[in-house]
């Protein structure tokens, strides 16, 4: 009987440790009540009100059991909050009780509508944060300097918002980043890539439609772990650097719809892991032998002034099986092609 009582006491202690504090429960409930639920606030399939399970009493009173909330099994502190696609509508500011959850390591507020709020400066209250996703949530204004204080961040997604101003060079302080996406923030202006080369742990960099200008700086050659480089729909200029061919881990490279000129460096075609290459919509010239492209299955070269040469007189299904997508629109063909096989 004594052993049984000891086991009961141990289980009781463990359960108690796994329960979140009253302060954190209150902070979450206050955060919940600061927003409306609006079916138009989220666009993704399966969006629903995750906060509807958040109740202060009853069998579901511990915030560790609430949908979207993750707690530390030992301390009970809230360490993760996933409210993506939760139909949240309303404004958020620096006084939000969200920023009392100082133990957070993961925060996902993607696909909601924060009604053109600025990213609050109290984001600095999350020094343990490793994952931050605010994408597609109607944030406005400049990225606050305080984001650069989140020194443990490994993943940052601010894409598809209304952020503006030039990129802050302070983002270069986030040296633990492996994933960075600022895609589709069309109000950025006059930004260059000069700061990115310090983020040497990056494996994915996504900056589509961010009004980037200038050349691709040689410092990007420091990003030797890159597998995904996505820079289309900007105003980047100059020749495509041949040293991109030294980024041996690249699997996806998209530089389409920019202002690059000159020829395509042959070094790109020697990247053994490259699966997708998109250079369409530039001002590229010179010759390309598409049958020397190593493992690429998605190739887009249209909208340039390229001369495509082959070792075959025609392109048909017998010589195209390596390509799932091949775009050569407006390219000059050195030999006669079967146009029905080119898309």
Residue 316 has pLDDT above 80, yes or no: no
| Residue 97 pLDDT class (50, 70, 90 cuts) | very high
Residue 4 lies in a domain: no
Residue 9 lies in a domain: no
What CATH number did the domain enclosing 144 receive? 3.80.10.10
Number of domains in the chain: 1
Residue 65 has pLDDT above 70, yes or no: yes
Q: 4: part of which helix (H) or strand (E)?
A: helix 2-17
Residue 14 lies in a domain: no
Residue 127 lies in a domain: yes
Residue 13 lies in a domain: no
Distance between CA atoms of 238 and 93, rounded to whole angstroms?
42
The answer for residues whose C-beta is within 8 angstroms of residue 71's C-beta and 6 or more apart is 18, 20, 63, 64, 77, 78, 79, 80
Which domain range does residue 265 map to? Answer: 22-332
Residue 18 has pLDDT above 70, yes or no: no
Q: What is the per-residue pLDDT for 190?
A: 82
Residue 17 lies in a domain: no
Residue 342 lies in a domain: no
Q: For the chain, give percent helix, strand, coil, nearest 5.
A: 25, 25, 55
What's the rounded mean pLDDT across residues 30-55?
Answer: 97
Residue 152 lies in a domain: yes
| Residue from 112, 111, 28 nearest 71 by CA | 28
């Amino acid at each position: 009987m004594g052993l049984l009582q000891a086991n009961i006491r141990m289980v009781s202690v463990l359960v108690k440790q796994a329960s979140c504090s009253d302060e954190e429960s209150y902070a979450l409930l206050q955060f919940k009540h600061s927003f409306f639920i609006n079916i138009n606030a989220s666009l993704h399939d399966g969006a629903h009100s995750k906060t509807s399970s958040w109740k202060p009493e009853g069998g579901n009173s511990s915030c560790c059991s609430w949908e979207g909330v993750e707690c530390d099994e030992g301390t009970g502190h809230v360490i993760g909050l996933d409210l993506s696609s939760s139909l949240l509508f309303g404004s958020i500011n620096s006084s939000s009780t969200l920023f009392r959850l100082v133990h957070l390591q993961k925060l996902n507020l993607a696909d909601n509508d924060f009604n053109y709020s600025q990213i609050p400066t109290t984001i600095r209250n999350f020094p343990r944060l490793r994952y931050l996703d605010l994408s597609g949530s109607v944030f406005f204004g400049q990225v606050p300097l305080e984001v650069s204080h989140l020194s443990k961040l490994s993943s940052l997604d601010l894409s598809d918002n209304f952020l503006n101003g030039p990129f802050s060079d302070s983002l270069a302080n986030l040296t633990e980043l492996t994933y960075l996406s600022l895609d589709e923030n069309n109000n950025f202006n006059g930004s260059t890539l000069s700061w990115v080369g310090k983020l040497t742990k990056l494996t994915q960099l996504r900056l589509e439609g961010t009004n980037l200008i200038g050349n691709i700086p040689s410092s990007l050659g420091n990003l030797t772990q890159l597998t995904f480089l996505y820079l289309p729909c900007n105003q980047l200029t100059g020749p495509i650097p041949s040293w991109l061919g030294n980024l041996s881990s690249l699997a996806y490279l998209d530089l389409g719809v920019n202002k690059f000129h000159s020829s395509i460096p042959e070094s790109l075609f020697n990247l053994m892991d490259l699966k997708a290459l998109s250079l369409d919509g530039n001002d590229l010239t010179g010759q390309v032998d598409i049958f020397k492209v190593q493992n690429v299955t998605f190739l887009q070269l249209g909208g340039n002034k390229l001369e495509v040469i082959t070792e075959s007189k025609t392109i048909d299904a017998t010589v195209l099986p390596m390509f799932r997508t091949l775009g050569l629109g407006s390219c000059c063909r050195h030999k006669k092609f079967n146009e029905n096989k080119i898309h």
